[in-house]
Amino acid sequence: MDKIRCLVCGSLAEKTQFFNNNSFGYKRYYYSCYNHAFLSPTPDKSAIEKYYSSIETESNPVYYKKYKKRLSIIKSKIKKYFSSKAVSVLEIGPGGIGLVPILPAGTTYVAVEPNKNNLLNLKKMSKLNIKMDLYNELNCVQYDEFDFIVSF
């Protein structure tokens, strides 16, 4: 099997049998080391910006109807981690909805979402009982630690 360096920890990662056939216009394989899984090759920044600026917002009614079912499944899997106490959450790639509807009051919610329409929709969903900070790039996040880091 092909091996490359892990993008996170630098250890050797092996190519798996799994792939995404039309990811940024070409076939990309999943690689795995001991602690991480990722797609390779990684698209360059301009390809990522082009992709996220052209996708339709995920807050449209058709998408949201499908997402509600997905959100219900996610909630059932993670509800034991989100008690009634306030937590801090970093969500990478929340789309136009993210975990916002299922977060407990007092939560600090930080989201990194490159699509401008999705960011606008997240702002509209902002609850008074959740502290929300939104960014379009990960390197702009101004927090040192979180209780949870998620990317679905």
Q: pLDDT tens digit string along 80-97?
A: 777 667 789 999 988 888
Residue 128, Cα to own-chain centre: how many angstroms?
23
Average pLDDT over residues 111-137: 85
**Res 111: pLDDT:** 93
**Res 137: pLDDT:** 86
Per DSSP, the residues of 62-131 read HHHHHHHHHHHHHHHHHTTTS-SS--EEEEES-TTTTTGGGPPTT-EEEEE---HHHHHHHHHH--TTSE
Question: Does residue 1 surpass a pLDDT of 60?
Answer: no
* Residue 134: band (very low, low, confident or very high) from pLDDT cuts 50, 70, 90: very high
Q: Over the chain, what is the mean pLDDT?
A: 80
Question: Does residue 128 surpass a pLDDT of 80?
Answer: no
Lowest mean pLDDT among 1-15, 59-73, 77-91: 59-73
Which residue's structure tokens are 């798996």? 16
